[in-house]
Amino acid sequence: MNLTLASLTQDQICTLAALGFGGTLARSALKVAILDAMSAIAGGAGGGAVLAPLLDEPARAAVLTDIDGTLAPIVERPDDAAVPAPARAALERLIGVFGLVGCVSGRRAAEARRLVGIDGIAYAGNHGLELLLPGESEPQLDPSLLGRERQAADFLADHGGEAGAGADLRVEDKGPIQALHWRGAADEKAAEARAHEIAAEAGRAGLEPHWGRKVLELRPVGGGGKDSAVSALLGTDGYATAVYAGDDRTDLDAFRRLRYLHESGELDAAVCVGVTSAEGPREIAEEADLEVEGPDGWVRILESLAG
């Protein structure tokens, strides 16, 4: 039987691999098919090549992703967000194929798990202040926060509770992080201006303001960050390669940490995937190794990695 890579569809390759037929040919062909699919999604031959190192030894590879704006479309109110079924199915198929599958989110870790709906992956919540590993019922809190868990909430309480009163800012209580949203406000420019005033006041009070897509987050100084989340997740085992996908400014911290881990020799390869949109920061595309349009583009990459 004369088999060539070009003559096989991906379904045929998977069937051959499942039957144990074709050996190295089937495995090589499957990798080529996956890379070809990813190249088409990313709009060029370079897309598959960038992600190729993850497929060389998937048991030592980590697939990490932001949630809102990356797996799930951005919505006016965070409580209305939903991870589409294809995204959830793609993540589930990655379990057992790659050494680590994890979500890194600004949401609380337990809320991130509830939203994604998969127990068998890791979650870094509150931008790395919480870590919830597979099989654990309660998240681990960053030890640096001990005694400062309510610092941001107390600041808002001291400033009238609803700090954005009169400016239509919505306060989201995330424990150690307090988020102020103005998406959908009657006057978004006025609400954003008030958010800048609050950020300045919070900075003088010893908090760290962090900006996202129509949201201001107030955090205790020195804790968390998606860079810390990435380090914590990758530090759980000996991973050689990793990919991280994100769409917002806070994801740039994760990009930069992955690059540092690669440049320092702790990772053989690191890939940063920018999930772009009309309102996303331009730095996401500028700093990404690979760019896809919207959550659908990233989910298609995940589906291809799952084979």
Q: What confidence score (pLDDT) does residue 42 get?
A: 52
Report, as an integer, the average pLDDT of 226-246: 91
User: What does the pLDDT read at residue 48?
Assistant: 67
Domain extent for 243: 52-142+224-306
What is Dmax (Cα atoms) for the chain? 77
Instruction: Compare 28 and 251 and report the one with higher pLDDT.
Output: 251
Tell whether the model's pLDDT for residue 260 goes beyond 50.
Answer: yes
DSSP code, position 72: B
Q: Among 11-15, 65-69, 107-111, where is mean pLDDT lowest?
A: 11-15
Is the model more confident about 222 or about 208?
208
- Residue range 42-71: mean pLDDT, rounded: 84
Query: Is residue 100 situated within a structural domain?
Result: yes
**Do 287 and 170 sit in the same domain of this protein?**
no
pLDDT for res 296 = 95
Do 38 and 60 lie in a common domain?
no
Tell whether 58 and 138 lie within a shared domain: yes
Mean pLDDT of 210-221: 87
Q: Are residues 201 and 277 in the same domain?
A: no
Whether 159 and 279 share a structural domain = no
Inside any domain, residue 177: yes
Report the pLDDT averaged over residues 9-27.
43
Question: If 0-12 CB within 10 Å is exposed, 13-18 middle and 19+ buried, where does residue 107 land?
Answer: buried
What pLDDT, on the 0 to 100 scale, is given for residue 65?
98
* Same domain, residue pair 216 and 255: no
pLDDT band for 210, please (50, 70, 90 cuts). confident
pTM for the whole structure: 0.74
The pLDDT assigned to 30 comes to: 46
Do 138 and 229 have their domain in common? yes
Kindly write down the DSSP assignment for every residue of the chain, as one continuous string: ----GGG--HHHHHHHHHHT-STHHHHHHHHHHHHHHHHHHHTSHHHHHHHHHHHHSGGGEEEEE--BTTTB---SSGGG----HHHHHHHHHHBTTBSEEEEE-SS-HHHHHHHH--SSSEEEEGGGTEEE-TT-SSPEEPGGGTT-TTHHHHHHHHTTSSTTTTTTPEEEEETTEEEEE-TT-TTHHHHHHHHHHHHHHHHHTTEEEEEETTEEEEEETT---HHHHHHHHHTTTT-SEEEEEE-SHHHHHHHHHHHHHHHTTS-SEEEEEEEE-TTS-HHHHHH-SEEEEHHHHHHHHHHHHH-
pLDDT digits (tens, 9 = 90+) for 22-49: 444 444 444 544 555 555 555 444 556 8
8 A C-beta contact, residue 63 and residue 302? yes
Q: Look up the CATH number of the domain holding residue 210.
A: 3.30.70.1020
Q: Are residues 122 and 241 in the same domain?
A: yes
Quote the number of domains for the chain.
3
Chosen domain end from 220, 236, 259: 220
What local confidence, expressed as pLDDT, does residue 79 receive?
A: 84
- The reply to whether 113 and 178 lie within a common domain is no
CB neighbour burial string for 60-72, b if at least 16 within 10 angstroms, e if fewer: bbbbbbbbbbbbb
Residue 64 CA to residue 122 CA, distance in Å, equals 9
Please state the rounded mean pLDDT for residues 274-288: 93
Q: Are residues 135 and 158 in the same domain?
A: no
Residues 164 and 296 in one domain: no
Cα–Cα nearest to 293, from 67, 284, 304: 284
Question: CATH no. for residue 108?
Answer: 3.40.50.1000
Q: Is residue 129 part of a domain?
A: yes
Tell me if 228 sits within 8 A of 235, measured CB to CB. Answer: no
Query: What integer pLDDT is reported at residue 31 of this predicted model?
Result: 52
Q: Are residues 130 and 276 in the same domain?
A: yes
207: phi then psi, degrees, rounded to nearest 5: -100, 165
Mean pLDDT of 146-170: 75
> For residue 306, is pLDDT > 70?
yes
Query: Which residue type is seen at 279?
Result: E
Say which DSSP state 139 is in.
P
Residue ending a domain, among 170, 191, 220, is 220
Alpha-carbon distance 282 to 264, whole Å? 27
The answer to the question of residue 47 being in a domain is no
State which of 69-78, 168-177, 243-252 shows the largest mean pLDDT.
Answer: 243-252
Helix axes 24-42, 45-56, angle to 10 degrees: 140
pLDDT digits (tens, 9 = 90+) for 76-131: 888 899 999 999 999 999 999 999 999 999 899 999 999 999 999 999 998 888 89
